[in-house]
Amino acid sequence: MKITLNKALLPTYELVISKLGRENVYLVGGCVRDTLLGRETSDLDFCCSLSPEVIHQAFEDSLYFEKYGTVSFKHDKNHATIAALRKESDYKDYRHPGKVIFVKTIEEDFRRRDFTINSLYVDGNFDVIDPTGRGLKDLTNKIICLIGNFNQKLREDPLRILRACRFKLELGFTYSEETKKAMIEEEHLIGQLNPQKIKEELHKCPKKYQENMIEELHLKDYCCIIEHR
């Protein structure tokens, strides 16, 4: 299966390809998901098999996060983020990995990601790669499904509970049964998050669905003041 990028994204895409090499770079995440759904986006997320140092050298004026091997910059009206392929482990603060290892393949990288629909990669030939084996199917069937050990994925980062709910409401999807079960069992971990992070995720949700999100996840129980309007 091939993907067709919006023409407005192509100059930014070609800039990244020209600097890092078509064989080293993949599109991934929300840009791929939204393009396949026919939704407009101005955000391009790339992952790259080159080292963080090489990526940074290619984009020296970008915002650089050394620990995670990512650079971010604006080009035309688009926002681009390029991340070195990596594995993550040892989550100790319910949010950030304590250990990051840079790798060379998407077969290792995809396991750190949250949902199957956000784990679709596009190579330099615009072919879609589905390492979970169910990302395209879930996208077609409008299903939100976690990757790996569902409960463990939410324990590592409870913000994924809010992201799952936001995607469900925003996209008109449903949860897989296993994902829904894990979300119910781990919902109490929302209380471990910084209230500001809860507010930020809530604000990303379209306003018409924010009350639904607050009610479904009982956010008033975890954050005394939610400025959602």
- Distance in angstroms (rounded) separating the CA atoms of residues 9 and 79: 10
pLDDT of res. 90:
76
**Each residue of 24-81: pLDDT tens digit?**
999 999 999 999 999 999 999 999 999 999 999 999 999 999 989 999 999 989 999 9
**Each residue of 98-118: pLDDT tens digit?**
788 999 999 999 999 999 999
Query: 52 in helix, strand or coil?
Result: helix
Q: Angle at the Cα of 183 (from 203 to 86), degrees rounded to 5?
A: 75
| The model's pTM | 0.92
For helices 159-171 and 207-216, the axis angle rounded to 10 degrees is 130
Tokens representing residue 46 in the block = 């790339």
**Each residue of 128-140: pLDDT tens digit?**
999 999 999 999 9
Query: 153 in helix, strand or coil?
Result: helix
Tokens representing residue 222 in the block = 């975890």
Q: Which domains does the chain have, with CATH numbers?
A: 7-139 (3.30.460.10), 149-221 (1.10.110)
